[in-house]
Structure 1
Amino acid sequence: MHDDVLAAGAAADLRARRARTATYWVFGVNGCLLSTWASRLPAIRDALDLSPSGIGFVLLAVSVGAMAGLPLSGPVVHRLGPARTVAAASVVCTLGVLGVGLAPTVLVLVPVLFLVGLGNGLWDVAMNVEGAEVERRLGVEIMPRFHAAFSLGTVGGAGLGAVMAGFDVPVAVHLPLVALAVLGAAYACTRAFLPGDHVRTAAAPDEPRTERRGSGALAAWTEPRTLLLGLMVLGMGMSEGSANDWIAVGMVDGYSVDDGIGAAGYGCFVAAMTLARFTGPWFLRRVGRVAALRAGALAVLVGVSVFILGSRLVGDVPLAVPLAVAALGTLLWGWGAALGFPVGMSAAADDPVRAAARVSVVATVGYTAFLAGPPFLGLLGDRFGVVPALSGVAVAVALSLLAAGSARPLAPSE
C-alpha cells in the first residue's frame, strides 16, 4: 500500500511537471503570435495609409474581440477544461493573424483583428487557469515565469519581425507562416495539460471532491477584491498594451528611424519584460506582491517619461543619443509592466474552487485597457504626435498604484 501511494504521488508529480513544460510553451507561442503582427504594424499602417487615430480605431477591433470572448471564458473553461479551450482558441486566433497578413483593405482588417482578440481572450484565461493549477500542485509560485515565457515568445516574434522588415519580406508571407507554425505547436502542447476535472470538480475541504459545481462567474462580479484586482490589471495592462501597440510606430514617427529599428525598439521593451518575469518569483519572495506591483508602476511612469524625452532630442544631438535614451526608457517601461498581469492572475486564482470565474472577471476588467487604450492614444496622437500621446499611460498606471493592495494573498477563510 505504501509503495502504491508513493507511485501515485510520483506519477502525479511527473504529470504536473509535464504540464508545467507544456504551459511554458503555450504561453510562449501565444506571445510569439501576438508580437509577430504587432512588430509589422508600421508596414501594415503604410500599406493601408492609416493615420494615428486610424491605427487606434483599427486596433480597437482586437479589444472588442477580446471583450466579447473574456466574459465567456470562465464558463467555457469550466465546461471544456483549459486544454480543449486553448486548442479551440488557437484556431480562432491564428486564423485572425493569417487574415491580418492577407488583408487588402481596412474593411477586411477589422473583422480579422476581431478574431485575433476573440481567440486570444479565451486562450489567455484558459492558459492562466492551467498555470495557476500547475503552480498549486507543484507548491511553487511560478506564474511570473509562465508570463516570462509569453514575453520570451514576444521577443522571438518581435526579433523575427525586425529581420523580416529589414529584408522587406512581405507581411502576406511572414504572418501566415508564423500563424500556421503556432497553431501546430499550441495543439501539440495542450495534449500534456492536466486533466480538466480540477476546473469543474474542485471543492471546498468540507465538500465531496466529485460534486459538480457551477462556474460561479456571476458571483465573482460582486466580489470587491476581484474587481480591485481587475482595476490593478487594467492599469498595468494599459502600460503593456500601449507599448505593444505604439512603441514601434513611436520609434518610426518620433525618432525618424526605419521600420527595422522601430521593431528593435519594441524588442527592447519585451526583452526587459521577459527578464523581469523570469526573476519575478525571486523578487516576489523578497518584497511581496503589493510592493512589487507598486515598484513596477513607478518604473513604468519613469520609463514612459524617458521615452518621450528622448524624442525631443532628435535633431539637436547625434541620433545615437536619443536612441540610447529611448532604449533606456523602453527597458524601464518593460521591467515595470512585467508583473502586473501574472500577479493579478495568480491572485485571482488563490482559491482553486473559484479560479476560472475570478480569472475571467479580472481579465475582462483588465482588458478594458485594450478596449479604451488604442482609440484614446490614437486621438491624442493625432493632436500631439504619437510619442507625446503616450503620457496618457500615466493616468492608467496610477490606478494600479491605488489598487495594488488587492493582490495580498487570501486568508484561509476567504
Structure 2
Amino acid sequence: MQNSRARAATAAGFLTQGLILLSLTTRLPDFQDKWHLSDVKLSLVLLMMILLAGVGSVVAETLAKRRDSATLLRSGLLLIAVAVPLLCLAPTTAVYVAGMAGYGIGLGVVDASTNMQAVALEHRYGRPILPSFHGAWTLGGVIGALIGLATAESSLQVSAVVGIVPLVVAFGPFLPRDHGPTELPTEVAVPWRPIILVGIAMVLFYMVDTGVQTWGPLFLDHTFTTPERYVALSALAYLLASGAVRIAGDWLVSRLGVVVILRVGALIGTAGLAVVVFSPTWQVAVLGFAVLGAGVAVVAPLSFSAAARIAGASEGGVEFEPAVRQARVDAVIARFNQFNYVGALLGSVMTGLVGQDSLRIGFAVPMILVLGIIPLAPAFAPKIVAAVSAPRPSAS
C-alpha cells in the first residue's frame, strides 16, 4: 500500500513539473512584451534559469547525504509554489527576474528528487517503471501547454493560479528513506565510467528534446507560411507521441529489453528528424516531430534507471544496507541530473546558432548526433563489476 501511494504521489510530482514548465514557456512572448525584453535579454534570463536549475540539482546532491528525497521534493515544490506567483504577479522587471531565479533553483531540486523517488520505487518493485513516471511529466507538459493556449488572451496574473498545484502536491505521501543511517559515512567507489556513458546518451536526448520545444514552433513559422495558431503543434505533437510511448514504456522494456528499445528508438528518432529537415509542408514537419517524440521518448527514464542500478550495485559481492544504498543512489542521481542541463543548453543554443540562416540545417545536426545513442545502448544494461578501490561503507 505504501509503495502504490508513494508511486501515485511521485507521478504527481513529475506531472506538476511538466505542467508548470510548459504553462510558463507557452507564455514567454507575453512576459517578453510586458517587460520589454529583447531576444538577447530573454535568452539571458532563460540561461540564468537553466544554470540555477543546475545549482538546485547540486544542492539536492549535497543534502541527499543527510536528508531523504521526500523532504527534498517537498522543499522544491514549495519553492516553486512561491516563485511562480511571484514571477507572474511581479510589479517590476527585477521581481520577475527574482521569481525566475527562484523557479530555476526549485526546478533543479524537483528534477533531482522526483527521479530519486522514482528509482527508489523501481528498486522496490523490481521491474521497469521509470518510463511511466516520465510519461506523467509529459502528460503534465501537455496539460500545461493547453493551459497556456487557453489563457493566451488573459493577463499574466491568471497564470499565477498554477502555483496552487505544487503547493498541493508537496503534501503527498512520498517514499521515506529506509530506516538506518541517513548519511554516507565514507566515500564509496562509484563506477563513473559506465554512468558517464549513460549520461552522454541523456545529453543527446535533451539536446533534441530542448531543441524541439524551443525551436520547433519557430521552424514552422520561419520555414513555411504556417498559420500562427498552428505553430505550437510542433511541440504538442512531439509531447503527445512521447507521452504515449512512455506510458507503454514499462511494458515495452520488459518485453524487448533496454538495448533493443534504445537502438530502434534512435533510428526512429533520426528518421523523424529527417522528415522534419526535408519536409515540403508544415503538416509533414509536424508529423516528423511526432515520429521523433515516439523514437526518443524513453531515453531519459532509462538513463536514470541505469545510473541508479550502477550506483546501487554491491561492492565485493556484499549488498549495501538499504539506507546506505538509497543515500548513495540519491547522491549519484542528483549529480547525474546535471547531464539534463548540459543537453538543454546544447539544444537551446546549438540548434539556433547552427540554424541561424536556416533551421533545416539547425535540425540536421541533431538528426546525425542522435545516432550516437546506438553504440551507447549497451551501457544501459552493464555487467556490474564490483568496486574494490574504496572500503565498503559501514552501517555505523
What is the TM-score when the length of structure 2 is the normalising length?
0.84
The 3-state SS of whatever aligns with 2:232 is helix
Give 1:41 deviation, angstroms. 3.1
**Where does residue 5 of structure 1 map in the other structure?**
none
Q: How many residues align?
A: 372
Cα gap change, 1:193 to 1:216, in 2 (>3 Å): farther
The residue identity in structure 2 corresponding to 1:71 is V
**Where does residue 73 of structure 1 map in the other structure?**
60
CA contact (8 A) 2:307 2:333 kept: yes
1:173 counterpart (154, 157, 161): 157
| Whole-angstrom CA distance in 2 between matches of 1:337 and 1:186 | 28
Give 1:31 deviation, angstroms. 0.9
Give 1:216 deviation, angstroms. 7.4
2:202 counterpart (229, 233, 254): 233
* Alpha-carbon displacement from aligned partner over 1:242-283 (angstroms, at most 9, x marks no partner): 222222333333334455322333211111110010111122
* Alpha-carbon displacement from aligned partner over 1:349-404 (angstroms, at most 9, x marks no partner): 112443112212221133211233323333334x3144542333235524433422
1:346 aligns with 2:305: yes
| Whole-angstrom CA distance in 2 between matches of 1:137 and 1:104 | 47
Give 1:228 deviation, angstroms. 1.4
The residue identity in structure 2 corresponding to 1:66 is A
Cα gap change, 1:349 to 1:64, in 2 (>3 Å): same
1:294 counterpart (251, 263, 268): 263
**Where does residue 370 of structure 1 map in the other structure?**
344
Cα gap change, 1:129 to 1:144, in 2 (>3 Å): same
Give 1:56 deviation, angstroms. 4.2
Point out the structure with the larger helix share: 1
1:360 counterpart (324, 327, 334): 334
The residue identity in structure 2 corresponding to 1:185 is V
Give 1:149 deviation, angstroms. 0.6
Moved more, 35-44 or 271-280: 35-44
Cα gap change, 1:262 to 1:285, in 2 (>3 Å): same
The 3-state SS of whatever aligns with 2:337 is helix
**Where does residue 393 of structure 2 map in the other structure?**
none
CA contact (8 A) 2:81 2:167 kept: no
**Where does residue 279 of structure 1 map in the other structure?**
248
**Where does residue 397 of structure 1 map in the other structure?**
370
2:71 counterpart (84, 88, 103): 84
**Where does residue 290 of structure 2 map in the other structure?**
331
**Where does residue 391 of structure 2 map in the other structure?**
none
CA contact (8 A) 1:59 1:374 kept: no
**Where does residue 107 of structure 2 map in the other structure?**
120
> Aligned-residue CA RMSD in angstroms?
2.8
2:14 counterpart (6, 27, 33): 27
Give 1:346 deviation, angstroms. 0.8
| Whole-angstrom CA distance in 2 between matches of 1:153 and 1:217 | 37
| Whole-angstrom CA distance in 2 between matches of 1:164 and 1:97 | 16
| Whole-angstrom CA distance in 1 between matches of 2:29 and 2:225 | 13
The residue identity in structure 2 corresponding to 1:151 is T
User: Could you list the runs of 5+ residues in structure 2 that have no partner in the other structure?
Assistant: 313-324, 388-396
User: Could you list the runs of 5+ residues in structure 1 that have no partner in the other structure?
Assistant: 1-13, 202-209, 314-321
Cα gap change, 1:99 to 1:373, in 2 (>3 Å): farther
Give 1:169 deviation, angstroms. 1.9
| Whole-angstrom CA distance in 2 between matches of 1:333 and 1:295 | 12
Give 1:407 deviation, angstroms. 0.8
| Whole-angstrom CA distance in 2 between matches of 1:257 and 1:49 | 26
CA contact (8 A) 1:85 1:123 kept: yes
Cα gap change, 1:35 to 1:234, in 2 (>3 Å): same
Give 1:194 deviation, angstroms. 1.7
Identity %: 26
